[in-house]
Amino acid sequence: MDRRLQSDQTVDQSTNSQGQWPDFIWFLMKMSGLFYHGTVVTKRRCTRCEIDKYEGNDGIGATQRVVANGTYEEVDPMSHFEMDMVPQEPHLSPFDRQDRPCQACETCWWDRQGNVAIYSDETIGLKRWNHAGSWLISLSILYTTILLIIFEIVKIISKIFAKKQLLLHLLNYSAFVCPLSVFPVMNICSKVKSALSGKGIGLWATAMNARFVVQRFQFLDLAKQGIPNRPFLAICLIWPLFCSTYRAIINIYLECRYDIVVIMWCLTVFICELIWGCFVYIIYLTRASFQVQFTLLLDFVKKHEGDFNLCHNIIRRFTIEFRCFRNCVSVYMAAMIPICVLGASTTATWQYSLYDFFKKNHSGSNDEFERSFDVNVNINIMIWSEVAMFSFLGPLAVGGLDVVYIWENFRINLIFMQNNQHRRFWRKMLLFLEYVEEQTPFISFTTVLSILSLYLGFQFESQSVLY
Give me the pLDDT at residue 76, please: 53
- Average the pLDDT over 182-211 and give the result: 80
Please check whether residue 240 is in contact with residue 183, taking contact to mean a CB–CB distance below 8 angstroms: no
Give me the pLDDT at residue 271, please: 92
Indicate whether 200 pLDDT > 70: no
Give me the pLDDT at residue 335, please: 87
* Rounded Cα gap, residues 326 and 320, in angstroms: 10
- The β-bridge partners of 302 are none
More confident residue, 49 or 279: 279
Indicate whether 398 pLDDT > 90: yes
pLDDT tens digits for range 304-330 = 998 898 998 899 888 888 998 999 998
* Rounded Cα gap, residues 330 and 391, in angstroms: 15
Residue 354's contacts (CB-CB under 8 Å, 6 or more residues apart) are 376, 380, 465, 466
Q: How many CB atoms lie within 10 A of CB 52?
A: 15
CA distances to 182, 302, 313, 322 from 416, in Å? 40, 11, 21, 22
Indicate whether 8 pLDDT > 90: no
Give the mean pLDDT of the chain: 78
Indicate whether 396 pLDDT > 80: yes
Indicate whether 365 pLDDT > 50: yes
Percent of the chain's residues with pLDDT above 70: 75
- The β-bridge partners of 87 are 42
Give me the pLDDT at residue 12, please: 38
* Rounded Cα gap, residues 152 and 269, in angstroms: 11
- The helix/strand count (H/E) of the chain reads as 16, 2
Indicate whether 92 pLDDT > 50: no
Residue 65 per-residue DSSP state: E
pTM equals 0.84
* Rounded Cα gap, residues 331 and 203, in angstroms: 11
Q: Which of 368, 366, 369, 346 is nearest to 358 (CA)?
A: 369
Least confident of 18-27, 204-213, 458-467: 458-467
Q: How far is CA 425 from the centre of its chain?
A: 35
- The β-bridge partners of 74 are 65
- Hey, is 96 helix, strand or coil? coil
* Rounded Cα gap, residues 108 and 119, in angstroms: 11
Please check whether residue 458 is in contact with residue 345, taking contact to mean a CB–CB distance below 8 angstroms: yes
Distance between start and end Cα atoms, the chain: 78
Give me the pLDDT at residue 348, please: 83
pLDDT-derived band at 349, boundaries 50, 70, 90: confident
- Average the pLDDT over 35-52 and give the result: 79
Indicate whether 206 pLDDT > 90: no
Indicate whether 71 pLDDT > 50: no
Give me the pLDDT at residue 413, please: 92
Indicate whether 67 pLDDT > 80: no
* Rounded Cα gap, residues 402 and 446, in angstroms: 12
Residue 253 per-residue DSSP state: I
- The β-bridge partners of 66 are 72
* Rounded Cα gap, residues 83 and 310, in angstroms: 26
Per mean pLDDT, which of 160-174, 259-273, 281-295, 406-420 is the most reliable?
Answer: 281-295
Indicate whether 17 pLDDT > 60: no
